[in-house]
Structure formats: C-alpha cells, structure tokens
Amino acid sequence: MVTARHRTTFMITKEEYIGPKGDCVIGVRAERSAAELEPELKRSAASGGPLLIKLRAGEYSEEVQAWGHPSIILSHPTDIVVRKSRFICGRTLAVGADKAAADLSREFVAALRNSSTELEVEIVLVHR
C-alpha cells in the first residue's frame, strides 16, 4: 500500500504493514528503527550538520539532502522519519530535507510497491 503522497515527510518503519493513511511510508519491515541506529550516526545527526540519504529500490535510486539538529534524539522503537519541516520528535532523523515521499519519482515508488523489492537506505555524513 505504498502511495508516497505525503508532501513534507517520508518514513521507514519496522511495522509489517501500512494502512491507507500511511502516505508518508516508503518502507516496511525495516531492520532498524531510530532508536537502533549507530551511536556515531546519532551524534552526527544531533550535531546539526548536513546528511545525504541515499535510497535504492531495485534499479531505481534517489538522493535526499537534509540536516541534523541539536534537538534530535532518535529514540523511537519502530520508525525513522525525514522531514522537509523543522518539526522534531523521537522518530526524526533529519529536517530541512529537499524531498518528501511525494517528491520521489513514480518509477521509484512503483518499485517500492513490489513486495519483493528491498529498500536500501544509506545515510552519509557530509563533512563541512
């Protein structure tokens, strides 16, 4: 049920399924949640520096540029969210992103709808 229509966020979750209201969700059955990310990555996100988020699904890929923030705590047990806005909660990995779910190519989203497609997420710490 991946629709990827949300205009301000995208989310990856450890949950097995998403409902019709989950228009920000681009990945389910994730291996890690915000709380389970590496300590170095958590520190970098909290430093407020730039992050590059590389997404790969089958033959398609997307890159999202975003920012960490000193208020980021990455404590949520199931979800990771990237936001265009500055809103921060326990699931927020980055803010000020240049893409949300609705901005991803429709070919990329179609690949995500296929249950056999694996979404790979790479978070690159961009050094200033």
Pick from 35, 13, 33: nearest CA to 23: 13
Question: What gap in Å lies between CA 31 and CA 43, rounded to an integer?
Answer: 20
Q: What is the pLDDT of residues 51-103, one digit of tens each?
A: 999 999 999 999 999 999 999 999 999 999 999 999 999 999 999 999 999 99
> What confidence tens digit (pLDDT) does each residue in 7-42 have?
999 999 999 988 888 999 999 999 999 999 999 999
Number of domains in the chain: 1
Q: What is the pTM of this model?
A: 0.95
Residue range of the domain that includes 35: 9-125
Those residues whose C-beta lies under 8 Å from the C-beta of residue 29, and which sit 6 or more positions away, are 14, 15, 16
**Quick check: is 2 in a domain?**
no
Q: What is the CATH number of the domain that holds 121?
A: 2.60.120.630
Q: What is the mean pLDDT of residues 39-53?
A: 93
Cβ burial 26-65 (10 Å sphere, 16+ → b, else e):
bbbebeebbbebeeeebebbeeeebbebebbbbebebebe
Inside any domain, residue 112:
yes
